[in-house]
Amino acid sequence: MFRLNNKVAIITGGGSGIGKAVSLLFAQQGATVCIVDIDEVGGAAVANEIGASQAKGFFYKCNIASQGDVQLVVDEIISKHSAIDILVNNAGIAHIGTAENTNEEDFERLLNVNVKGTYNCLHAVLPVMKLNGGVILNMASVAASVGLTDRFAYSTTKAAVVGMTLSVAKDFLTHNIRCNCVSPGRVHTPFVDGFLQKSYPGKEQEMFEKLSKTQPIGRMGKPEEIAALILYLCSDEAAFITGCDYAIDGGFLKLNT
């Protein structure tokens, strides 16, 4: 079950964190994995790791905030692999701040990557998928569904991703294109470690445990756990699922009191 043999998958932000876990899992399940990332070192390393396991992994450096860059990469992937069966819009950035203290530059930066970047990838890939169908998985967040302290810009962009997911799912039903999103809670990624080192020097472990306990299950998620859900939603076994937002959050949305 959940094999992706003969599938060509684009995974944005595939060079680290959840994107890396998705890239490795998809390759393990038989997909040809196209890692699209602005991080040349991380993206190339994951592609090499996939290649070392005798699977197919390719790296394409790209700034998803640039529609021109995205279109060039998509054209290159089509030229090399002839199809795009799966798009995982995982790339994104975070920001801490309220509507009062978030400056215009930071707000626009998040919009450009998290919203426009997702749009750019959809815009380039959908015409290709209309030929033979396909699956799109967008990365949302629990921040789109509940009020989180100091997450104004981030929550705004992730709510937009949920809206785009529903719109694409509706508009492309007749083209055999499915579109869903997942909404993780806190996941232990390199970003979390960097945030703790920068914001709480000397108290990293204390704050890590505090953040972990905000989820009823008592810990942060693992990138591999998010990747497993994404694999299911992108597999043929999920052929009856479209237009859905899946929380994977250790009970954060429903069990917090």
**Model confidence over 197-244: pLDDT tens digits?**
988 999 999 999 999 998 999 999 999 999 999 999 999 999 999 999
- Distance in angstroms (rounded) separating the CA atoms of residues 12 and 255: 31
Give the total number of structural domains in the chain.
2
Q: Examine the domain organization and report whether 232 and 202 are in the same domain.
A: no
Pair 12, 135 in one domain? yes
Asked if residue 257 is part of any domain, the answer here is no
Residue 83 structure tokens: 């199809």
Same domain? 213 vs 125: no
φ and ψ at 64, to 5 degrees?
A: -65, -15
Instruction: Answer yes or no: is 72 within a domain.
Output: yes
* pLDDT computed for residue 257 by the predictor: 63
Burial of 206-233, coded b for 16+ CB within 10 Å and e otherwise, reads eebeebbeebeeeebbebebbbebbbeb
Do both 167 and 192 map to the same domain? Answer: no
Q: Which residues are catalytic?
A: 154
pLDDT at 56: 97
Q: Which single residue is written with the structure tokens 């962009």?
A: 157
One domain for residues 171 and 208? no
Domain check: are 195 and 151 in the same one?
no
Clarify whether residues 136 and 211 are in a common domain: no
For the entire predicted model, the pTM comes to: 0.96
Residues 81 and 174 in one domain: yes
Query: Which range of residues forms the domain containing residue 204?
Result: 188-220
On whether both 192 and 148 belong to a single domain, the answer is no
Q: Is position 132 within any domain?
A: yes
Closest CA to 168 of 132, 229, 125: 125
Do the domain assignments include residue 256? no
Q: How far is CA 161 from CA 55, 212, 224, in A?
A: 31, 25, 22
DSSP 8-state assignment for residue 255: H
- Together in a domain, 61 and 172: yes
- Take residue 141 and report the two structure tokens written for it: 């967040």
